Amino acid sequence: MTEITTEQATAAASGAAATERFRSKQHAGTAEVGTERVDTLVSELLAAAHDIIRRHQVSYAEYDALKSWLIRVGEDGEWPLFLDVWLEHVVEEVANERREGSKGTIEGPYYVPGSPALPADATLPMRQGEQGTPLLFQGQVTSVDGTPLTDAKVEIWHADSDGYYSQFAPGLPEWNLRGTVTVDGTGHFRIRTIEPAPYQIPTDGACGTLISAAGWHAWRPAHLHLKVSAPGHQLITTQLYFKGGRYVADDIASAVKPELVLDPAPVVDGSGREVRYDFALDKA
């Protein structure tokens, strides 16, 4: 029997886990799309595909390869991964083009609701001796007019120093490096965590086959995921990256924006790095 490493097990399981997590969200909004809208969108999508086939003289061999690959995407449970990596950044761009406040970006497939509630000055749940450079992430949540939002919540999650997410990799505590922080009476928060690592999206399934066939790389830059909310204001979903980090300039998911790049400074006592990032939320 072939030995399966932790890395292989993580890649093999993450697609299925992301699919199950997506199904559990119960997206009621899907049923509200009218027939006219469906007709418009699907018809134009098919017309675009027809145009590609004609312009590039797609052969039956290539067509059969596409069918085989699409079937495998479903069998591997990788539709959420495929859509979140290659399409979601454009959906997010359209959805938030009129926002005046902080920039958003994709949610990605590894979000889990219900993370532990934490105070404004908090340390994320982590293992004893968690590996990685300590990071103090702090800031303030305000409305776009500068009014502090004293009842805001900052939900944060990210990969560990090996690039793995809790609940999507074996051997990690359930809520490792995940938490929901309630700001203080001035809208401020201080979160102690570790700097995450860049990571490859799973490459042992259908998405990996596409990446290899196209000659792409499979890496995402190191990043923090955040959802910031307050009553009467629009939720912002975003990711924050690190200046000078690998793959910031060529993220496989095309999710990096200049406004989302952090530039942490060394802590005076040498115990890691710190950075401030403020969030401005639009009115609902």
166 Cβ contact partners less than 8 Å away, ≥ 6 residues apart: 160, 172, 173, 174, 175, 176, 177, 178
- 3-state DSSP of 53-115: HHHCCCCHHHHHHHHHHHHHHHHCCCHHHHHHHHCHHHHHHHHCCCCCCCCCCCCCCCCCCCC
Question: What is the rounded distance in angstroms from the CA atom of residue 69 to the CA atom of residue 82?
Answer: 12
Question: What is the rounded distance in angstroms from the CA atom of residue 43 to the CA atom of residue 88?
Answer: 20
**Mean pLDDT of the residues in the chain:** 91
What integer pLDDT is reported at residue 92 of this predicted model? 94
CB atoms within 10 A of CB 124: 23
Q: Is the pLDDT of residue 8 over 60?
A: no
CATH number of the domain encompassing residue 179: 2.60.130.10
pTM above 0.85, yes or no: yes
Please give the average per-residue pLDDT across 240-247, as a whole number.
97
Residue 191 pLDDT level (bands cut at 50, 70, 90): very high
Q: Is the pLDDT of residue 15 over 70?
A: no
Question: What is the rounded distance in angstroms from the CA atom of residue 166 to the CA atom of residue 157?
Answer: 9
Question: What is the rounded distance in angstroms from the CA atom of residue 181 to the CA atom of residue 229?
Answer: 11
What integer pLDDT is reported at residue 13 of this predicted model? 60
Please give the average per-residue pLDDT across 216-243, as a whole number.
97
What integer pLDDT is reported at residue 263 of this predicted model? 97
What integer pLDDT is reported at residue 109 of this predicted model? 84
268 Cβ contact partners less than 8 Å away, ≥ 6 residues apart: none
Inter-residue contact 141 to 281 (CB < 8 Å): yes
Question: What is the rounded distance in angstroms from the CA atom of residue 212 to the CA atom of residue 216?
Answer: 6
What integer pLDDT is reported at residue 81 of this predicted model? 87
What integer pLDDT is reported at residue 27 of this predicted model? 53
Residue 32 pLDDT level (bands cut at 50, 70, 90): confident
Q: Please give the torsion angle defined by the CA atoms of residues 92, 98, 100 and 104, in that order, rounded to the nearest 10 degrees.
A: 0
Question: What is the rounded distance in angstroms from the CA atom of residue 136 to the CA atom of residue 275?
Answer: 6
CB atoms within 10 A of CB 160: 23
β-partners of residue 137 are 191, 275
| Range with the poorest average pLDDT among 5-14, 54-63, 83-92, 223-232 | 5-14
Q: Is the pLDDT of residue 25 over 90?
A: no
Can you read off the two tokens belonging to residue 190?
A: 């201080």
Question: What is the rounded distance in angstroms from the CA atom of residue 262 to the CA atom of residue 242?
Answer: 5
Question: What is the rounded distance in angstroms from the CA atom of residue 227 to the CA atom of residue 106?
Answer: 11
Residue 161 pLDDT level (bands cut at 50, 70, 90): very high
What integer pLDDT is reported at residue 264 of this predicted model? 97
Q: Is the pLDDT of residue 166 over 80?
A: yes
Question: What is the rounded distance in angstroms from the CA atom of residue 199 to the CA atom of residue 163?
Answer: 5
Question: What is the rounded distance in angstroms from the CA atom of residue 282 to the CA atom of residue 95?
Answer: 13
Domain span including residue 129 = 1-26+33-284
Inter-residue contact 248 to 256 (CB < 8 Å): yes
Please give the average per-residue pLDDT across 6-34, as a whole number.
59
Can you read off the two tokens belonging to residue 61?
A: 């061999």
110 Cβ contact partners less than 8 Å away, ≥ 6 residues apart: 14, 18, 157, 165, 167, 168, 225
The percentage of the chain sitting over the pLDDT mark of 90, rounded to a whole number, equals 80
- How many structural domains does the chain have? 1
What integer pLDDT is reported at residue 22 of this predicted model? 64
Q: 């924006």: which residue's tokens?
A: 257
| Range with the poorest average pLDDT among 7-21, 65-79, 101-115, 269-283 | 7-21
What integer pLDDT is reported at residue 138 of this predicted model? 98
Can you read off the two tokens belonging to residue 153?
A: 């919540």
**Interval 66-124: pLDDT, tens:** 999 999 999 988 998 899 999 999 999 999 999 999 999 999 889 999 999 999 999 99
